[in-house]
C-alpha cells in the first residue's frame, strides 16, 4: 500500500504573519543589542537555526517560538498576533451630562491596572455635596485652560502646565474654570469606573461630574 501526504498550502495571510513574526524576532533581538549567539544561549537554540528563522529559510515551529518569546521578554500571543490596525485611530466619547469629552489613550489594560486618558471639560466643578470618593490616588496634568479641583471643602485652581496628585478618599471632582480645560489623566481601575463615561465599561459611581 502506497502512502501519500497532502501538503497544506499557506494562505497569503499566513505568509504575511510568518514574515511579521520573523521581523519581530530580529527587531527584538537587535533592540537588546544581542547577537545571534546571545539569543541562542538564552533560547537554547543554535545560532544557525536562529539565522534561518530570521531570514525565512526555515519554517518556525511552536516549540521554537515559546523559548524565543520567553528569552525576548514577550509573550507567545504578542509575538504571533496579526497586524490588526482597525482601531488605530482613537475616537472621543462624549458625556454631555457631565460636560466632558474623553479620549482613552491605551487600548488594553496594562499590567498595573492603569489607563491614560485625555479629557476636555466645559462645566465647573460641582458643589461639595455632589462630590464622590473611590480608593487610591488620582493624578492629572492641565494641557490648556485652568482646572478647578474641588477637594473636600477646598477649591484649588490648577493652571496649564501644572499637575495635581491627591488621595481620592477625599471627596473630589475636577471642572473647568473660566472656559474649557483639557487635562491628561492617569487613572486606576477604581478611578475609571468613577470618572470615565459609561461607554468605557463599568457603570459610573453616583452622579459625580468630575472631569476625571
Task: Walk me through the domains of the chain, giving residue ranges and CATH numbers.
Answer: 12-80 (1.10.260.40), 93-200 (2.60.120.10)
Residues in a beta bridge with 117: 104, 185
Rounded to whole angstroms, the Cα distance separating 76 from 73 reads 10
Q: Could you give phi then psi for residue 53, rounded to 5 degrees? A: -65, -45
Rounded to whole angstroms, the Cα distance separating 149 from 172 reads 7
pTM as predicted: 0.54
Rounded to whole angstroms, the Cα distance separating 111 from 93 reads 24
Q: For every one of its 212 residues, what pLDDT tens digit does the chain have, with 9 covering 90 and above?
A: 444 444 334 454 555 788 889 999 999 999 999 999 999 999 999 999 999 999 988 888 888 999 999 999 998 888 888 766 556 666 666 666 667 788 777 655 555 566 788 889 999 998 888 888 888 888 999 999 999 999 999 999 999 999 999 988 999 989 999 999 999 988 776 666 666 665 444 444 443 344 44
Amino acid at each position: 500500500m502506497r502512502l501519500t501526504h497532502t501538503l497544506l498550502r499557506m494562505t497569503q495571510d499566513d505568509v504575511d504573519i510568518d514574515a511579521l513574526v520573523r521581523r519581530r524576532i530580529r527587531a527584538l533581538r537587535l533592540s537588546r543589542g544581542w547577537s545571534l549567539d546571545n539569543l541562542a544561549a538564552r533560547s537554547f537554540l543554535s545560532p544557525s537555526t536562529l539565522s534561518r528563522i530570521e531570514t525565512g529559510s526555515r519554517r518556525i515551529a511552536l516549540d521554537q517560538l515559546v523559548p524565543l518569546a520567553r528569552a525576548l521578554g514577550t509573550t507567545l500571543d504578542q509575538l504571533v498576533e496579526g497586524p490588526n490596525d482597525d482601531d488605530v485611530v482613537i475616537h472621543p466619547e462624549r458625556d454631555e451630562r457631565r460636560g466632558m469629552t474623553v479620549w482613552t489613550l491605551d487600548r488594553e489594560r496594562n499590567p498595573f491596572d492603569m489607563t491614560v486618558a485625555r479629557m476636555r471639560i466645559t462645566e465647573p466643578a460641582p458643589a461639595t455635596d455632589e462630590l464622590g470618593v473611590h480608593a487610591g490616588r488620582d493624578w492629572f496634568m492641565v494641557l490648556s485652560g485652568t482646572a478647578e479641583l474641588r477637594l473636600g471643602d477646598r477649591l484649588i485652581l490648577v493652571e496649564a502646565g501644572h499637575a495635581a496628585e491627591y488621595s481620592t478618599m477625599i471627596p473630589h471632582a475636577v471642572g473647568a474654570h473660566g472656559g474649557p480645560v483639557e487635562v491628561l489623566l492617569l487613572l486606576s481601575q477604581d478611578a475609571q469606573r468613577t470618572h470615565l463615561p459609561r461607554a468605557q465599561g463599568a457603570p459610573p459611581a453616583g452622579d459625580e461630574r468630575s472631569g476625571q
